[in-house]
Amino acid sequence: MALLTKAPRGTMDTLPSESYRLRHIENALSETAGCFGFREIRTPVFEHTELFMRGVGETTDVVQKEMYTFNDNGNRSISLRPEGTAGCVRAFLEHGLFNEPLPQKYFYLTSCYRYEKPQAGRLREFHQFGVESLGTGSPAADAEIISLARQIFDFFELNDISLEINSIGCPECRKNYHAALINYFNSKKDELCETCLSRLERNPMRILDCKSPVCSAIAEGAPVVLDFLCEECDTHFKNVRKHLDAMDIEYTVNPQIVRGLDYYTKTVFEFVSTSIGAQGTVCGGGRYDGLIKELGGNALPACGFGMGIERLIMLIDAQRKSLPEEQRIQLYIAPATPEYSFEAMRIINDLRYEGISALTDLGERSLKAQMKYANKKNVMFTLVLGEDEIKSHKASVKNMDTGEITEISLDTFTEDFMHVSINAALGGIGMGSLQDFTLINGGKQ
């Protein structure tokens, strides 16, 4: 029978065999952000289109070519979020969070949507970990979010990741730079793509971010923004580098980095790797001191970054870094006949309240079929529940790794099973790690 439909192009299902790895990664990201004082924020998957037009920038590839935009039933223009920063700043302003002590520091794990040609590391629905530090202009804040990203890569023991940084200055010092870019690109007008021609007068820096090989080659000879920094921006960039030096974070100054969104000012940075092919940027961010005012608030400085989850996973896999194995089901209770399923359900219900994972038959299968199922599910222990067990109030629990049999009273089954499973974990019998011990006891110590 033919499927009615498949997942839309550029999207991806995360199946149970992979979701536990994703959950481990997301937990690590959240916990690392928490160590830096960042708190989680969640915003809607869609926003009014003008938020991204003003925030991300009308001349960017994201707005011009990649956004999923539609009119809703009220004839309002709505767009699926292409990135996380604009929505986060909108929430910061809408809920008056600027009245709380500054800086306000948020992180998010979110889905984003861009209509691009799907390829490895670039999907139309992708997932992003991001942090935003709102209300501080200190170069220490730039260095702090860079160090947060660095700690994440170190947590997963990833190598072949280099940090590249640049400063694109403030609007004032960029005026002279824009004039120099316009003068340079005017001499190459006949070679530029149509999109870059439209950007030439409005925002020539966007040409530096063009993905066309021809425009990219032309951009390599363009004036360098670092030569046009005002004294304040130059000092800020020097102090960012001093903070990185103090934390022994290695970096390279790359004058070609401008990032693909219009809201950036001063510091911009990328973490790149050669382990995952052409889509080598795993994390990128910087300072965006004008965005809060652009979206209707008072002028407040801010900085942040976005990290692609799919690219992070690609990097972990490419470098063959190990992640914890999926947690095993601890017990399978096999009722000998359907009439004993009631007692089986009672027992596993008590176990689950104590945080112990347990399964039983839900399809009135034979004992042979149940044991086959338990083996496929790779359970730690099994128990057959029949007439003898009910009458004697005792049952034999089998360790599926060692074959060891332990008799347990049904009257105190939950407590006794916890002791059996903990002893097996501590003895390294089939469980293998202290992680199993804490999981067996519902995370309780």
- Per-residue model confidence as pLDDT tens digits over 329-351: 999 999 999 999 999 999 999 99
What pLDDT score does 64 carry? 79
What pLDDT score does 395 carry? 94
How far is the C-alpha of 328 from the C-alpha of 362, rounded, in Å? 19
Q: 326 near 410, Cβ under 8 Å?
A: no
Domain assignment present for 191:
no
Residues 21 and 119 grouped into a single domain: yes
Q: Please tell me the total count of domains within the chain.
A: 2
How far is the C-alpha of 416 from the C-alpha of 404, rounded, in Å? 16
What pLDDT score does 445 carry? 37
Range of the domain at 342: 331-440
Q: 128 near 155, Cβ under 8 Å?
A: no
Residues 49 and 122 grouped into a single domain: yes
Residues 288 and 161 grouped into a single domain: yes
What pLDDT score does 424 carry? 80
Domain assignment present for 360:
yes
How far is the C-alpha of 445 from the C-alpha of 425, rounded, in Å? 13
Instruction: Look at residues 286, 318, 350 and tell me which one is the last residue of a structural domain.
Output: 318
Picking from 332, 336, 343, the residue whose alpha carbon sits closest to that of residue 386 is 336
Residues 100 and 247 grouped into a single domain: yes
Phi first, then psi: give them for residue 262, nearest 5 degrees: -70, -20
The amino acid occupying position 445 is Q
- Which pair of structure tokens corresponds to residue 233? 């921006």
Residues 362 and 314 grouped into a single domain: no
CA distances to 71, 111, 177, 299, 372 from 172, rounded to whole Å, are: 37, 35, 9, 15, 72
Residues 237 and 165 grouped into a single domain: yes
Instruction: Look at residues 285, 318, 351 and tell me which one is the last residue of a structural domain.
Output: 318
Q: Which residues contact 346 (CB under 8 A, 6 or more apart)?
A: none
pLDDT-flagged residues of the chain (< 70)? 1, 59, 260-261, 278-279, 427-445
Domain assignment present for 235:
yes
How far is the C-alpha of 276 from the C-alpha of 325, rounded, in Å? 23
Residues 302 and 342 grouped into a single domain: no
Domain assignment present for 349:
yes
pTM: 0.86
Residues 269 and 381 grouped into a single domain: no
Residues 38 and 83 grouped into a single domain: yes
What pLDDT score does 430 carry? 38
- Which pair of structure tokens corresponds to residue 245? 């030096």
Q: 410 near 394, Cβ under 8 Å?
A: yes
Residues 150 and 273 grouped into a single domain: yes
Picking from 61, 24, 27, the residue whose alpha carbon sits closest to that of residue 262 is 61
CATH number of the domain where residue 36 is located: 3.30.930.10
Counting Cβ atoms within 10 Å, is residue 12 exposed (0-12), middle (13-18) or buried (19+)? Answer: middle
What pLDDT score does 211 carry? 77
How far is the C-alpha of 416 from the C-alpha of 422, rounded, in Å? 10
Residues 280 and 389 grouped into a single domain: no
The amino acid occupying position 105 is K
Query: Where would I find the H helices in 119-230?
Result: 139-155, 171-186, 194-202, 213-219
Q: 233 near 263, Cβ under 8 Å?
A: no
What pLDDT score does 59 carry? 66
Domain assignment present for 206:
no
Domain assignment present for 67:
yes
What pLDDT score does 427 carry? 67
What pLDDT score does 261 carry? 67
CATH number of the domain where residue 356 is located: 3.40.50.800
Instruction: 241-245: list long-range contacts, CB under 8 Å, 24+ apart.
Output: 241/165, 242/139, 243/139, 243/140, 243/142, 243/143, 244/143, 244/146, 244/147, 244/165
Domain assignment present for 189:
no
Q: 116 near 64, Cβ under 8 Å?
A: no
Instruction: Look at residues 289, 318, 347 and tell me which one is the last residue of a structural domain.
Output: 318
